Amino acid sequence: MAAKNAGETMPLDEVVVGRDVLELVSSAMYIDPMTVYREYVQNAADAIDEARANGLLLPDESGDVAIAIDAGSRTIRIRDNGTGISNKDFARKMAALGSSGKRGTKARGFRGVGRLAGLGYAQELIFRSKTQGDDAVCELTWDCRKLKAGLRQGDGEIQDLIRAVTAFRKRPIADFPERFFEVELRGVIRLRSDRLMSPAAVQDYLAQVAPVPFAPEFKFGPEIRAALAQFVELGELTIRIEGNDHPVYRPHRDTYQDDNGRMISFDDLSVSTIPGIDGDPAAIAWVLHHDYEGAVPGAAGIKGLRLRCGNVQIGEHALLEELFPETRFNGWAVGEIHVIDRKIVPNGRRDHFEQNAHYHNLTNQLAPIARDIAKHCRTNSVRRKWEREFELSATSVREAFSVIKQGSLGVQARDQVALAAEQNILKMAKIADMPILVNEASDRNQTISELRGRLQDLMADEHPVSSPLARLPEEDRKRFESFFELIYECSANRVAAKALIDRILLRLE
């Protein structure tokens, strides 16, 4: 038998990196067009953080991101007031592929490919920048149509392809800011209801995923921010979309209206520190609590337990639904998990995290939070069931009162209706005594007492209501009473049956 490591180890004479790699790390990686905004805003946030660290932005100065969307020319421009890239470094950094100086730092992006996200969604992709003191604005233009044609032509060096589809130039400073970075997409492709060109859709998207502040009118905002600020560098941005009156805020508010018109109000907040494998905090979780009477409307942009890293959302709202005993309960939850353990790493598309022991420990630690939310959902579902049973029984009792007061039934049938009413009252009493309904027990007991008193008064009155039947001969009266009893027995709707008998009695008068 040959030795396990027999044979001579030989060096590879040639390693080929094909041009298809460029497509894999650009348009093929970013499936959802809206991620273009996330990637560029994320890079802007890193540049603004660096500007603060270097003293270029004072503590009271905002980190600004300006987004201009021109539907006529199908152009998008995203500009920030971060550090910018110097003239001497611009060409080298912007032509680098999969090479980032952010790796190992606290920056949100570190793979060096996010800036290529726009290649698949425009005819031209243009980067411009300068730093304070530079005497020109550097500009790199990608010809996206030429790039796609080049990718179809077959093999070749990736460096040659990049040189063929890009143009580097320097422009006069003119009226550009003293330091900035901007990306411009020209000839934006129309995709998915053209959401890329919709300021409203962009605002809704960035409100969910970007590091922006809570709205001033959200009462839990300051408390959440204070809890996170101890562990998370929030890096909140002031993002303004041209034409909108207000900057982008997180979508959370105090109340919402669901699809059925029911109001959802948040009345409590819980914050938890999630430990990592080594005992240090791995994440900070916060959950808003409400009455859990149903799912939060999707249009609100807040439903589900959501994951964030660097205060940027990773993936979508359903990422953690498998933690719930019933996945639907994730749609009833509102909360976020801010990952702070740097061993828990977002994947290349930032639609999930790399699957390692640290991430699995995080989800294991989050499972009790999901189970607690599910318990609230189930408990409130059961409570609502018995509340409906109580109200249905009360309605049935009141309908019975109407039938008795109508005076259209004989004594025996009347007693049967009264007995059914008493049975419903007894059922209501049992429901009111349930521990799950203890918070409103006094109101329900008062309702039961009032209904029982009304029933006793009705049955104690030997002549409850004058009826046209009382003036009929006894034989005719009994015939009508039997007929009316039959109507009640055969009708699926007691209210409709009473209305019919009322009309008959009116004719008899």
Higher pLDDT, 413 or 329: 329
Asked which of 16-25, 66-75, 114-123, 445-454 is least confident by mean pLDDT, the reply is 16-25
Q: What is the pLDDT of residue 277?
A: 94
151 — pLDDT class (breaks 50, 70, 90): confident
Question: pLDDT tens-digit profile of 69-102?
Answer: 999 999 999 999 999 999 999 998 888 775 555 5
Question: pLDDT tens-digit profile of 362-409?
Answer: 999 999 999 999 998 888 888 888 888 999 999 989 988 888 887 777
313 — pLDDT class (breaks 50, 70, 90): very high
Higher pLDDT, 439 or 37: 37
Q: Could you give the 3-state DSSP secondary structure of residue 479?
A: helix
Q: Tell me if 501 sits within 8 A of 484, measured CB to CB.
A: yes
CA-based nearest residue to 48, from 179, 139, 177, 178: 179
Q: What is the pLDDT of residue 152?
A: 78
Q: What is the pLDDT of residue 347?
A: 87
Average pLDDT, the chain: 86
pLDDT beyond 80 at 25:
no
CA distances from 459 to 365, 419, 425, 487 (A): 62, 10, 15, 22
Which residues touch 351 (CB under 8 Å, ≥6 apart)? Answer: 314, 315, 316
Number of H helices and E strands in the chain, helices first, is: 12, 14
Mean pLDDT within 463-490: 72
Mean pLDDT within 171-196: 93
pLDDT beyond 70 at 3:
no
Q: What is the pLDDT of residue 37?
A: 95
Q: Helix crossing, 35-53 with 199-209: angle to 10°? A: 60
Mean pLDDT within 8-21: 62
CA 15 to chain CA mean position, Å: 45
Question: pLDDT tens-digit profile of 207-244?
Answer: 999 999 999 999 999 999 999 999 998 999 999 999 89
pLDDT beyond 90 at 13:
no
140 — pLDDT class (breaks 50, 70, 90): very high
Q: Tell me if 253 sits within 8 A of 80, measured CB to CB.
A: no
Higher pLDDT, 251 or 438: 251
419 — pLDDT class (breaks 50, 70, 90): confident
Half-sphere exposure of 394 (CA within 13 A, CB side): 20
438 — pLDDT class (breaks 50, 70, 90): confident
Domains recognised in the chain with CATH numbers: 20-214 (3.30.565.10), 255-378 (3.30.230), 384-508 (no CATH)
Residues above pLDDT 70, as percent of the chain: 88
Question: pLDDT tens-digit profile of 482-494?
Answer: 887 787 777 777 7
Q: What is the pLDDT of residue 95?
A: 81
Asked which of 98-107, 169-178, 292-301, 332-341 is least confident by mean pLDDT, the reply is 98-107
Higher pLDDT, 415 or 113: 415
Give the torsion sign (CA, 495, 498, 500, 503): negative
Q: What is the pLDDT of residue 455?
A: 87
pLDDT beyond 80 at 114:
no
Task: Tell me the pTM.
Answer: 0.78
Asked which of 109-123, 249-263, 382-396, 420-434 is least confident by mean pLDDT, the reply is 109-123
Q: What is the pLDDT of residue 464?
A: 52
CA 490 to chain CA mean position, Å: 49
Question: pLDDT tens-digit profile of 233-242?
Answer: 899 999 999 9
pLDDT beyond 60 at 63:
yes
In total, the chain counts a number of residues equal to 509
